[in-house]
Amino acid sequence: MAKVVLITGASRGIGRACARLAGACGWSVGVNYAGNEAAAAEVVRDVEAAGGRAVAIRGNVAEEADVTAMFETVETALGPLDALVNNAGVLGPKSMLADMPAARMKHIFDVNVFGAYLCAREAARRLSTSRGGRGGAIVNISSAAARLGAPDEYVDYAGSKGAIDTLTIGLAKELGPEGVRVNAVRPGLIDTDIHASGGQPDRADRLGMTTPLKRAGSAAEVAEAVIWLLGEESSYVTGALLDVAGGR
Ligand code: NAP
């Protein structure tokens, strides 16, 4: 029986690459998305074309009712959950903190922090052995920004990813005895739509040139680390913050 993973924000970018690789590696995949139904449907088709099973689920990770419904839909469609990739995330336009509207900061923390905590909570409820679960794995998508701070661009986003690192450290200790490993991947400059959503479509390529590896990374390169952390190959790894950032 294939193992089941729910990936938030899996219609585009890093989440999509994780969904495709997970499907190719034999996982059944819950493909969460916020609004882009066509993109999510394409990811489902990709997984099915590789011989796997997948279901697309619309839901805002920052809404508790959406999150609980999303987990229920995945388990109804694909079977009991084995893993979560806590990937959905947003950033705002480049800005100094002094110029940031409160609504923008609240949105960043709602999606990146509250949303990730809600999804981790739902996974903990389902996976923990003392609650009838079978154990499993959670991979949180943090960012190199958590240690760099993203000055002059988005310190709100960087702080939200610092919270993800701390969630990973605490939850790994809380859930280790429950048979659940919890790790984070901290991508660097990865070529996805997120930079355009922050008003800088060329950001990954431009700043990627300044990294030791002299280029931006691809979503597929991040997915390799994520899928490794989901699987038995990383069975003694928990509480780790794994940089996939080209040395940045
Ligand atoms: P992206 O290309 O902009 O894709 C974002 C994905 O998240 C989309 O699938 C989007 O769904 C979904 N999403 C957005 N808000 C959501 C919400 N409220 N509820 C559910 N889904 C939501 O982003 P990405 O670059 O792949 O980033 C993925 C993760 O990696 C994020 O956590 C980001 O912070 C992190 N990261 C990225 C980079 C980078 O350089 N790209 C670096 C470090 C960390 P729709 O398609 O429906 O809009």
Share of the chain above pLDDT 90, in %: 99
Given a contact cutoff of 8 angstroms between Cβ atoms, the answer to whether 164 and 146 are in contact is yes
- Point out the catalytic residue in the list 33, 117, 157, 236: 157
Integer Cα distance of 69 and 81 in angstroms: 14
If residue 59 lies in a helix (H) or strand (E), which one and from where to where?
none
Q: How confident is the model over 130-156, as a mean pLDDT?
A: 98
Given a contact cutoff of 8 angstroms between Cβ atoms, the answer to whether 16 and 223 are in contact is no
pLDDT greater than 90 at residue 241: yes
pLDDT the model gives residue 46: 97
Number of H helices, E strands in the chain: 10, 7
Q: What CATH number does residue 204 fall under? A: 3.40.50.720
DSSP helix, strand, coil percent of the chain (3-state; round to 5) = 50, 15, 35
Q: Is the CB of 140 under 6 A from ligand 1?
A: no
Domain count for the chain, please give it: 1
Segment 154-204, tens digit of pLDDT:
999 999 999 999 999 999 999 999 999 999 999 999 999 999 999 999 999
pLDDT band, residue 17 (cuts 50/70/90): very high
Residues 6+ positions from 239 with CB-CB distance below 8 Å: 168, 169, 172, 173, 176, 182, 183
Segment 101-130, tens digit of pLDDT:
999 999 999 999 999 999 999 999 999 999
Domain that holds residue 54: 4-244
* 33 catalytic residue (yes or no): no
Residues 27-51 as b or e (16 or more Cβ within 10 Å = b) = bbbbbbbbebeebbeebbebbeeee
Distance 50 CA to ligand 1 centre (A): 23
pLDDT the model gives residue 151: 98
Segment 38-77, tens digit of pLDDT:
999 999 999 999 999 999 999 999 999 999 999 999 999 9
* Among candidate residues 31, 25, 27, 60, the one with its CA nearest the CA of residue 45: 31
pLDDT the model gives residue 68: 98
Q: Is the CB of 39 under 6 A from ligand 1?
A: yes
Mean pLDDT (the chain, rounded): 98
Q: Is the CB of 17 under 6 A from ligand 1?
A: no
Of 16, 21, 33, the one to substitute when testing ligand 1's pocket (max ligand atoms within 8 A of C-beta) is 33
Q: Beta strands of the chain (E only): which ranges?
A: 4-7, 28-33, 54-58, 83-86, 136-141, 180-187, 241-244
pLDDT the model gives residue 175: 99
Give the DSSP letter of residue 179. T
Sheet architecture: strand order including 241-244: 54-58, 28-33, 4-7, 83-86, 136-141, 180-187, 241-244
Integer Cα distance of 126 and 105 in angstroms: 31
The torsion defined by the Cα of 123, 63, 224 and 230, in degrees rounded to 10, comes to 0
Q: How confident is the model over 219-237, as a mean pLDDT?
A: 98
Integer Cα distance of 107 and 29 in angstroms: 27
β-strands 83-86, 54-58: how paired?
A: unpaired
85, β-bridge pairs: 7, 139
* Among candidate residues 169, 120, 110, 165, the one with its CA nearest the CA of residue 143: 165
Residue 88 CA: nearest ligand 1 atom is 7
What is the crossing angle of helices 116-127 and 64-78, to 10°?
A: 40
Q: How confident is the model over 4-9, as a mean pLDDT?
A: 98
pLDDT greater than 90 at residue 1: no
Q: How confident is the model over 27-31, as a mean pLDDT?
A: 98
Q: Is the CB of 190 under 6 A from ligand 1?
A: yes
Share of the chain above pLDDT 70, in %: 100
